[in-house]
């Protein structure tokens, strides 16, 4: 017997796709990245490492996939 929650879950996955579990890994330390900034006009996004704070700039290519453009340390304001 199929329960209603299983039907709802399968319907949700068929409409929206499976949930995304991995967001990316840092080039410096290998830790997970979190979304820091999203710019629709420039088709770019900035992801920030949760451990070391390194910023990873991604841009969309011709096909529409996100490609790493550059990875940089965040700017530290002078004292």
pLDDT in tens, 9-43: 565 555 555 544 446 888 888 889 998 888 889 88
Q: Which one has a higher pLDDT value, 23 or 47?
A: 47
Whole-angstrom distance, CA of residue 12 vs CA of residue 33: 26
Give the DSSP H/E element, type plus range, for residue 9. helix 4-16
Percent of the chain with pLDDT over 90: 19
Give the number of other Cβ atoms within 10 Å of residue 32's Cβ: 13
Place of tokens 């451990």: 51
pLDDT computed for residue 21 by the predictor: 41
């Amino acid at each position: 017997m199929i329960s209603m929650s299983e039907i709802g879950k399968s319907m949700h996955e068929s409409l929206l796709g499976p949930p995304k579990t991995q967001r990316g890994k840092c080039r410096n330390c290998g830790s997970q990245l979190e979304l820091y900034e999203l710019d629709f006009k420039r088709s770019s996004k900035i992801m920030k490492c949760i451990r070391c704070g390194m910023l990873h700039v991604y841009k969309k290519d011709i096909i529409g996939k996100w490609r790493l453009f550059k990875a940089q340390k965040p700017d530290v304001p002078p004292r």
